A and B are shown apart, each in its own frame.
Chain A
Amino acid sequence: MPKHIVSGLKYIAAVNLRKQGQTQREIAEALDMDRSTVSHYLNGRNLSWNSIEVAEMVTNFCPKDFLILTHALLKDTERTRTIIQTCSNLKFEGIIRNSCIGCGICVDTCLMKAIVLNDLKAHINDEWCCGCLICMEMCQTNSIEIKEVVD
């Protein structure tokens, strides 16, 4: 069953990546699939519609649950990052307050690898932030604020 959800998630990601103009080869590489499977998926074959429905539900979970479930299913940070970024429609903005001491806890906890340290301060790459708020919860100096960006 977990495998079916993964397939559903990869299907949604593949379709979105195709819409972004990526080639089948690029999609196969990004999602760690072989090209023929990508081709089948994009043509709606070899996949139960029920898996896609469940996967779609998962993508609509709150960002933290979506991220943690996906990471638990895939057991791979790189693929998780790709799927979360391609399947999430939400946008976030991370603000680091001046009270940040650059301890790096957020860098270590961010599953999306969206945070780096620079000049003893954390910097969030909004492109990759999925809004899970794990960094905010872990920050011992309350220096992180994550805001949802509504277009």
Chain B
Amino acid sequence: METTEIMDGKNITLERAGEEDRTLIFKNDMCAVCGLCETICPVSAIEANPTGAMIRTEQDMSKIDIDVNKCVLCGMCSSICPFQALDLQINGDSIRELQYPQLIKSAEIDNEECIHCKACETACPQDAIIITRELPSRAELITGEIDIDKETCIYCGMCEEMCPVDAIDIEHQTPTSDNPVVATDINVSEDICVHCGICKRICPVDAIKQVCRICPYGEYEISEPEINGNSYIDPELCINCTWCQEICPVDAAKVTKPFEGELTIEQDTCQGCETCVMVCPCNVLSFPKSTKSGLNAEKLHKDERFCIYCGACQKSCPVDAINVKRTQINYTPTKSKAWKKAFESLKQ
């Protein structure tokens, strides 16, 4: 019946064996110190450590502390954590797979719509997106002819050195008395050549004949380039911030946020310490670049499109300049009045 605590670096595991074997796992790396677990815990077993210190300096401690003597392993913290940093497992199964209230959140990229531009991959604050793509070879997008007159060629190697796609290959050799030549052969690979004409222009003896057919004949000979690719969002890392959805040029990404609300910043109170900017897991906050020396339109810039209203910034602000108001919590229905009350209590 005793609950035991195991520390693995900064990760915490709490275990209780009984009718059901319950295990609560805390992954320090995934925690944004938003404090939702601390707020929802019905037995006040969780304490989030001071955010500024946790984020700005190297700390040997975990971002949260769980009191092993108080924790009853009910799983509320695990259900509310928007970052999947906490996970309660019952008999080895995560309560995310069981009949427990869950935050309703999702993120997907429609691979049919996706043009594999990688904008989302670049923008994702959690590096949760991987876009793989296979581009056609350059030669497939061009058409032309090239021929090197080996009789005229003096094998000077200039064309080989200048070719931007390494399509020319010369078999160099040191001349010997029985074969007094500097090279034995020269070849151009038509699969690689992009018919840029540089070799023709550099050749000192006009040994190269090259023509690009696109100008005289148009592009009809070239088939549409085929770009194959795949998009993947790591569900463990994704925090549903909607950066991918907002930055996608073809509306291929769809994201549902777990919370709705309002984020307000008191520009006059803000001291510009940057803690919130470092804390925010969704890259909602930034310092705007100065337009004129000594002038800033605003101290701290926000773009609420990306905000999931976790409250980490508010918790971290040393001067209370930020207010996060949650107006809606999207979670799956539950018959438990205590759980319902706990989820609803996070609204303001």
Using CB atoms and an 8 Å cutoff, list the residues of chain A in contact with chain B: 98-105, 107-109, 117, 119-121, 140-141, 143
- A103–B74 Cα gap in the complex (Å)? 4
- A102–B73 Cα gap in the complex (Å)? 9
Q: In the complex, what residues of A have CB within 8 A of residue B16's CB?
A: 108
Shortest beta-carbon distance from A67 to chain B in Å: 15
Shortest beta-carbon distance from B42 to chain A in Å: 5
Q: In the complex, what residues of B have CB within 8 A of residue A121's CB?
A: 335-336, 338
Shortest beta-carbon distance from B332 to chain A in Å: 12
* A108 and B338 within 8 A (CB): no
> A104: which of B20, B43, B70 is its contact (CB, 8 Å)?
B20
* A103 and B338 within 8 A (CB): no
* A101 and B1 within 8 A (CB): no
Q: In the complex, what residues of A have CB within 8 A of residue B42's CB?
A: 101, 140-141
* A140 and B1 within 8 A (CB): no
Question: Given A140-B70, A140-B72, A101–B18 Cβ distance below 8 Å?
Answer: no
Shortest beta-carbon distance from B21 to chain A in Å: 10
9 A-B pairs besides A105-B72, A120-B338, A141-B42 with CB distance below 8 A are: A102-B339, A103-B72, A107-B18, A107-B19, A119-B334, A119-B335, A119-B336, A121-B335, A140-B43
Q: In the complex, what residues of A have CB within 8 A of residue B19's CB?
A: 104, 107-108
Chain B, 87-109, CB within 8 A of any chain A CB:
99-101
* A120 and B43 within 8 A (CB): no
Q: Give the size of the chain B interface in residues (CB under 8 angstroms).
A: 23
> B338: which of A99, A104, A105, A109 is its contact (CB, 8 Å)?
A99
With most chain A CB atoms within 10 A of its CB, the pick from B1, B74, B76, B101 is B74
Fill in one digit per residue for B41-55: 1 if any A CB lies within 8 Å of its CB, else 0: 011000000000000
Using CB atoms and an 8 Å cutoff, list the residues of chain B in contact with chain A: 1, 16, 18-20, 22, 42-43, 70, 72-74, 76, 99-101, 334-339, 342
* A104 and B336 within 8 A (CB): no
Shortest beta-carbon distance from B109 to chain A in Å: 34
Q: In the complex, what residues of B have CB within 8 A of residue A103's CB?
A: 72-74
Tell me the interface secondary structure of chain A in the complex. Answer: loop
Q: In the complex, what residues of B have CB within 8 A of residue A119's CB?
A: 99, 334-336
* A141 and B43 within 8 A (CB): yes
Q: Which residue of A lies closest to B19 (CB)?
A: A107
With most chain A CB atoms within 10 A of its CB, the pick from B22, B101, B335, B337 is B337
Complex A-B: 24 CB contacts under 8 Å? A98-B337, A98-B338, A99-B337, A100-B336, A100-B338, A101-B74, A101-B338, A102-B338, A103-B72, A104-B18, A104-B73, A105-B1, A105-B72, A107-B19, A107-B20, A108-B18, A117-B20, A119-B336, A120-B336, A120-B338, A121-B335, A140-B42, A140-B70, A140-B72
- A62–B19 Cα gap in the complex (Å)? 26
Q: In the complex, what residues of A have CB within 8 A of residue B334's CB?
A: 119-120
Q: In the complex, what residues of B have CB within 8 A of residue A140's CB?
A: 42-43, 70, 72
* B73 and A101 within 8 A (CB): no
Q: In the complex, what residues of B have CB within 8 A of residue A143's CB?
A: 338
Q: In the complex, what residues of B have CB within 8 A of residue A109's CB?
A: 1
Shortest beta-carbon distance from A8 to chain B in Å: 29
Shortest beta-carbon distance from A111 to chain B in Å: 11
* A101 and B20 within 8 A (CB): no
Shortest beta-carbon distance from A59 to chain B in Å: 26
Q: Which residue of A lies closest to B70 (CB)?
A: A140
- A119–B43 Cα gap in the complex (Å)? 20
- A109–B1 Cα gap in the complex (Å)? 7
